[in-house]
Chains A and B, each alone.
Chain A
């Protein structure tokens, strides 16, 4: 009686039950996790880890970023962008032992926080590309979002034709070359980050693999310190660019802050589409390889 009077409802009920459950008995995929290889220039992926020294779930996310770097090697470039007053600013009122007194925020980080609407950490963005309808990705989505982009043929090739650090004047001189491999349409900008790896400072922690909830000497990786090109970069392509074009941008004698250790510093350059903010290619060069 019921079935005759509402076939539609019955159909939904049956469909629901039939499609319900995938029990998995062996979670690990054999031979899973191999990076994709191919010929020609491929797109590298920029993983921006939005983090902060007072965010207790962030060490877990940073560990995931490192694991992904171990899998993908040079194809994946990591940057830790410390942002938000709640998580990256010095603790207020200050602690008597001087812990968490560093201000990790940067002008660029603050601008990205506002434009991306970041309030919950840890968070991240994979080449600033929308994945699963969101620009922001929790660390659980990084693996799949990266797999979506990495290894694909690239339209741009970026490299540092010159990157020298002068210890006497504490400046770095860089020349970035961008080669257009396939025709490119739309305005593109080039942004250059200056990042410092292995910054040792305090960190709140929830990750059981580290002993303390307050880690005094935590190894902060790939910390964004400043931008050489300005927060939103400089114009790279205006309107369109034909295959075979090469663009060169020079940054002579950019001052490096005395507090940063040049042995751990590098520049990250990426070209992005200004309409969609998607990063089309990225390159990294260390000060002292």
Chain B
């Protein structure tokens, strides 16, 4: 217990000096809905912001978040050109359910599948929902864990900042 706290203490305090560079999307192989492999370091949106949201079909707050944003997505895209990539961490038990569910909800997001948690581990995600915001250069500028109704407003404020700054 003490050693782990010491480890975390030293690491967290030394970190700012080491990782001043913003995180980039790591390279991990995920699948698209039609089974093709995709390397996440190739994620791009033509210089516009990207929201990477980790969810699962068994995670109720995740589904609430994506449903709430779905109502506003068209407007968000029009105003800022942002793209939302929903990465599902459903493993092989519920992986088959992802595409029918996404279509049954009438969502317009780009959906990627991470069935063995490779991208989840590479981004150090503890639990879902977890959202990352990438700027036009592919750097992670904001992240948020958990979802409460109204959180999407804070997220969108950050998106607008990115676009306004540019």
Judge A-B direct contact (beta carbons within 8 Å). Answer: no
**Residues of B in contact with A (beta carbons under 8 Å apart):** none
**Residues of A in contact with B (beta carbons under 8 Å apart):** none
